[in-house]
Amino acid sequence: MKLSKLEGGVILAAAVFLAFTAGWFLRGNTSAQPLRVETERRLEAAVTALPAPTQTAQPGPVNINTADAAALMTLPGIGEKRAADIIADREANGPYRYPEDLTRVSGIGEETLAGLIDEITTGEETQ
């Protein structure tokens, strides 16, 4: 019996396919490594301290004549040193009559005052 070229090509392709498939399955079964799980390592959680908030929500404007250092430090641009300077100036020169009087404190100029003006009061404004 004589095979045509087409029949020979189909048989050859089938033989190649079967050889490839057999090799694929045999390769996977004979060389598999067992799964290893490491149980000795531990992930240590790094604790990072967050900085204290510099500005908290105030129920109203901060009275610069009665506020303590912590309340003054909630204002934008006012840190620990400037809060202490405001309190020292208030004690040395008396209470602030207008919010603009805050510029008599060293380090507080017109630009800083512009950022504070809506958030401070002297308590003497008429409602």
50 located within any domain: no
| Rounded mean pLDDT, 12-23 | 93
Can you give the pLDDT at residue 54? 58
Q: Under DSSP, is residue 97 helix (H, G, I), strand (E, B) or coil?
A: coil
DSSP of 41-78: --PPPPP-PPPPPS----SS-EETTT--HHHHTTSTT-
> Average per-residue pLDDT in the chain?
82
**pTM of the predicted model, to two decimals?**
0.52
**Full domain range(s) for residue 69:** 62-121
CB neighbour class for 96 (10 Å; exposed up to 12, middle 13-18, buried from 19)? buried
Helix or strand holding residue 120 (H, E): strand 120-121
Total domain count, the chain:
2
Using CA atoms, how far apart are residues 113 and 104, in angstroms rounded to an integer?
11
56 located within any domain: no
With cut-offs at 50, 70 and 90, classify the pLDDT of residue 126: very low
Are 26 and 71 contained in the same domain? no
Q: Considering the chain, what percentage of its residues have pLDDT values greater than 90?
A: 35
Are 117 and 66 contained in the same domain? yes
